[in-house]
Amino acid sequence: MLISNAYAQTAPAAGGLDIFGLLPLILMFVLLYFLMIRPQTKRAKEHKAMLGGLQKGDEVITAGGTLGKVTKVGDNFVSVEIAANVEIQVQKSSITTLLPKGTIKSAG
């Protein structure tokens, strides 16, 4: 005969939980935590602290790229002077960067 007979093989033994099977999943979660989750929470804490410390006279950049000086700080909104006698109101959370004093004069 040209075709050999196929015989059924025994089933593999039912094993318990294999730690080496879960190891890649655990390592991927640890890597995800240290590369993505931890830096994001740290950045969010720093931004919240920066917004909490805003004062009148601080020079800031908004999320839209507008450069100005803080004239009034409220609970949710901030008044920013972008030119002489020109003030805009922006949400506090849209303030992205707090600049060193005197940056506006050197930029203009």
Instruction: Output the CATH code of domain 55-108.
Output: 2.30.30.30
Q: What is the pTM of this model?
A: 0.69
How far apart CA 22 and CA 18 sit, in angstroms, is 7
Instruction: Please state, in angstroms and rounded to a whole number, the distance separating the CA atoms of residues 55 and 53.
Output: 6
Across the strands, what pairs with 78?
73, 90
Q: What is the pLDDT of residues 8-26, one digit of tens each?
A: 777 666 556 677 888 999 9
57: phi > 0 → left, psi -120 to 50 → alpha, else beta; which? left
* pLDDT value for 102: 85
Annotated domain spans of the chain: 18-52, 55-108
Tokens 């804490």 belong to: 45
The whole-number pLDDT of residue 16 equals 60
Residues of the chain with pLDDT under 70: 1, 11-17, 107-108
Provide the pLDDT for residue 6. 72
* pLDDT for the residue 2: 74
Q: What is the predicted pLDDT for the residue at 4?
A: 79
Cα separation, 59 vs 47, whole angstroms: 15
